[in-house]
Amino acid sequence: MDPVVTILRVGEVERIIGSYGVMLSVAIVVISLITTRAAARAGLDVGATIAAIGLTAGAAAAGSWLLYVAVEWVRTGSPLAAIAQPGLVFFGAPLGGVPALYFACRKLELPMGRLVDLAVPAVPAGHAMGRLGCFLGGCCYGRPWDGPFAVTYTHPLAPAAYPPLPRHPTPLYESAALLVLALVFALAPMRGVGRGRRLCAYLASYGAVRVVVETFRGDTVRGLFLGGAVSTSQILGVLVLAAGLAGLVWTRRREVAGPAQPV
């Protein structure tokens, strides 16, 4: 594991290329390519789909950055300090991305439910790539453990190297689970596509995966409650699981009540 892929040099300027950044870029490309291919196979307008993905990605990035600036502004009391320090907050992504996707689908006459369902195998695949970036970068690490799959980070720039103990490779656990989810959704019959059922099933399964993986995490910066028994992400995982199950029940009832109209 190495948080640094390489150091680019142009003249006297040096720029470190980090593993996390590279893997996150790979993840975005993987999600976009798989979704576009699925949309083309399903007979959707490829150009409009690409435009919708681009708009959603841009709005998600902007939302993440704006939320980061807002949080830092509140924390430091200085808007300039918040803007000068680059950073992103993950929860800003859905706040910006979901309305943008809705707007794009309305404007470009794309069926949003169908597009989202088609993108379901791509999202866990890309997420798995992102988690590999965490593994390489040494963040999101596990509890100290001396088992057969334990990893010890020694790179001075890896947060998991402090202290350099054998640990659960939690990013690998999550990455493996996400790849299994991606395979299952890619191979599963496309029955129900367009009604949001695949999205709901993915949300429920990912929520469950996250709750389980969090029990092996060892980094405390993610926020702990009840004396360290529950993490922020576990609470969110339970909420996502509940939302996914509720969505499955709702879409099932709609299906039983009558022929569903694609969203």
Partner 1 sequence: MGVGSIIVGIAAFLFMFGGFLTSVIPFLGTLLSFGAPMLALAGIVMGGLALSRAKRDGEPTGAPTAGLILNIVALIPALVVALTCGLCNACISAGVMNPQQGRGQPWIIDGGASPFGPGTSPFGPGPSPPGPTGPGVGPKDAGPSLGPPPAFPPPPMGDDTAPDDTAPDDTAPSASP
Residues at the site binding partner 1, with contacts judged by CB under 8 A: 1, 3-4, 8, 10, 13-18, 20-22, 24-25, 28-29, 45-55, 57-58, 61-62, 65, 72, 75-76, 81-88, 108, 137, 139, 144, 150-157, 159, 162-166, 219-221
Residue whose CB is less far from partner 1, 86 or 259: 86
Least distance from partner 1 to the Cβ atom of residue 223, Å:
13
Q: How far is the CB of 246 from partner 1 (least distance, A)?
A: 32
Among candidate residues 100, 102, 83, 84, the one with its CA nearest the CA of residue 92: 100
Q: How far is the CB of 108 from partner 1 (least distance, A)?
A: 7
Nearest approach, Cβ of residue 202 and partner 1 (Å): 24
Q: How far is the CB of 62 from partner 1 (least distance, A)?
A: 7
Find the DSSP H helices in 109-217: 112-119, 122-137, 170-187, 197-214
Nearest CA to 127 among 65, 207, 232, 72? 207
Phi, psi of 172 (to 5 degrees): -70, -40
Nearer to partner 1, 95 or 238 (CB): 95
Q: At what angle do helices 197-214 and 232-257 cross, to 10 degrees?
A: 160
CB of 225 to partner 1, least distance (A): 17
CA distance 184 to 223: 32
Q: CA–CA separation, 19 vs 213, rounded Å? A: 22
* Smaller CB separation from partner 1, 57 or 211: 57
Q: Which is nearer to partner 1, 97 or 196 (CB)?
A: 97
Q: What's the CA gap between 107 and 115, in Å, rounded?
A: 14
Q: How far apart are CA 99 and CA 176, in angstroms?
A: 30
**Cβ-based nearer residue to partner 1, 172 or 181:** 172
Cβ distance to partner 1 smaller for residue 75 or 261: 75
Torsion, Cα 47 51 53 58, to 10 degrees, reads 160
